[in-house]
Chains A and B, each alone.
Chain A
Amino acid sequence: SQKIEQNSEALNIQEGKTATLTCNYTNYSPAYLQWYRQDPGRGPVFLLLIRENEKEKRKERLKVTFDTTLKQSLFHITASQPADSATYLCALDPLTGGGNKLTFGTGTQLKVEL
């Protein structure tokens, strides 16, 4: 069956360190993968999209990698700050139906401590 897995345990790191979040998937062949940030009680906000032919993408302190052989994406936040504390969701296109549908992982909560 198709599955997207993100670490359900919260990730606690110290301010200034690099946070690395993992997204693994099975039985999908996505053309792209996206990462979203969600704050408590709010809707997710788009951060980055990486396509299957791209190995890495960067945006300011954010970096995403996409390994279609391992079926894995890594999401890095460098020089993390307490304001980065949130839940991070990965999402990919299930390639079923139209309308740019996405299937989301359950998210990993990141806590950046002073």
Chain B
Amino acid sequence: DVKVTQSSRYLVKRTGEKVFLECVQDMDHENMFWYRQDPGLGLRLIYFSYDVKMKEKGDIPEGYSVSREKKERFSLILESASTNQTSMYLCASSYKETQYFGPGTRLLVL
């Protein structure tokens, strides 16, 4: 079974803090994705990566950066957290067309 794990289920941070969200997959997938999910807006793609050290902006990259130093790990970085980044963050990896999601990190920025 594919396993995608995320470093935290719940996280509370203060405005202006630098926040790291980690995602690890164990299936040697090339592609990895970061989404945020908000009520009424659905899943929105922040960044994705199709290979180590490669990254592409998604639909809402502003205020975020990513890092992929190893194939199995894809990190999302909030350089200076703001209250409008309070959300559910979901990581996924894909084999061909199908995406496999982690359990999500619910981030609250105060």
Chain A interface residues (CB < 8 Å from chain B): 8, 32, 34, 41-46, 49, 89, 91, 93, 97-107
CB-defined contacts of B102 to chain A, threshold 8 Å: 43
Main secondary structure of the interface of A (DSSP, over half): loop
For the complex with contacts A32-B97, A99-B56, A100-B99, 11 further pairs of A-B residues with Cβ separation under 8 Å are A44-B99, A46-B100, A89-B42, A89-B43, A100-B31, A100-B94, A100-B97, A101-B58, A102-B97, A102-B99, A106-B41
Which of chain B's residues has its CB closest to A106's CB? B42
- Counted as pairs of residues, one from A and one from B, with CB atoms less than 8 Å apart, the total is 59
How many chain B residues touch A (CB < 8 A): the figure is 27
Chain B interface residues (CB < 8 Å from chain A): 4, 30-31, 33, 40-43, 45, 48-50, 56, 58, 90, 92, 94, 96-104, 106
Q: Point out the residue from A44, A49, A97, A99 that lies within 8 Å of B101, measured CB to CB.
A: A44
